[in-house]
Amino acid sequence: MRKVERLILRIKPAMTAAALAVVFAFADTSAPTDLDTLFADKEFALPKLDSTYRTAASEVPQHKSAGKEQDGVFVLQFDAIANFDAAQSRRSKLQAITGYSIQMHFDAPFYKLRGGYFTKKSSAEDKAAELSLQNISAFVIKIK
């Protein structure tokens, strides 16, 4: 062993003992802290939840055109990958599984994998739901 290594091995136990002495010196548990005196003999309990908290007004608001059929050009976005080689590999796998021509769009710093062109949003959403049954995640994007 070198002299430095031997010196470090001798100093380590001394430093550990000194650190423990400091911790125990300041760890006086007999005196209550400010938080102990603030919450002394008071236990905080959450209120019970019941059906009165659930009202019709608390439903999630829908977009005004949610019930209407939207026209335009919609695509499915499958992934956004930062590595070009990984994006190319994923693109070829998606093309084989879905049968779509998957396009790569670079939007710094990601390569976005998109495919499947639809004129109705509902048909694009239906296809995304169908693909989710095959464990392929995709979401709908309107491009025009």
Q: CATH number, domain at 133? A: 3.30.70.1070
> What confidence score (pLDDT) does residue 59 get?
56
> What confidence score (pLDDT) does residue 56 get?
53
What phi and psi values does residue 68 have, to the nearest 5 degrees? -90, 150
Residue 21 placed within a domain: no
Question: Do residues 109 and 102 touch, judged by C-beta distance below 8 A?
Answer: no
> What confidence score (pLDDT) does residue 67 get?
47
| Residue 73 predicted with pLDDT over 60 | yes
Residue 78 placed within a domain: yes
Give the mean pLDDT of 20-45.
Answer: 66
Residue 17 placed within a domain: no
Residue 19 placed within a domain: no
| Residue 49 predicted with pLDDT over 50 | yes
Give the mean pLDDT of 18-22.
Answer: 69
> What confidence score (pLDDT) does residue 11 get?
72
Q: Looking at per-residue confidence, does 99 or 4 come out higher?
A: 99
Residue 110 placed within a domain: yes
> Position 94: which residue type?
L
| Residue 65 predicted with pLDDT over 60 | no
What phi and psi values does residue 76 have, to the nearest 5 degrees? -100, 130
How many independent structural domains does the chain possess? 1
Query: Rounded to two decimals, what is the model's pTM?
Result: 0.49
Q: Which of 75, 78, 77 is nearest to 119 (CA)?
A: 75
Q: How many helices (H) and strands (E) does the chain have?
A: 4, 4
DSSP structure class, residue 94: H
Residue 63 placed within a domain: no
Residue 66 placed within a domain: no
Residue 13 placed within a domain: no
| Residue 95 predicted with pLDDT over 70 | yes
Give the mean pLDDT of 120-140.
Answer: 87
Domain carrying residue 120 = 71-142
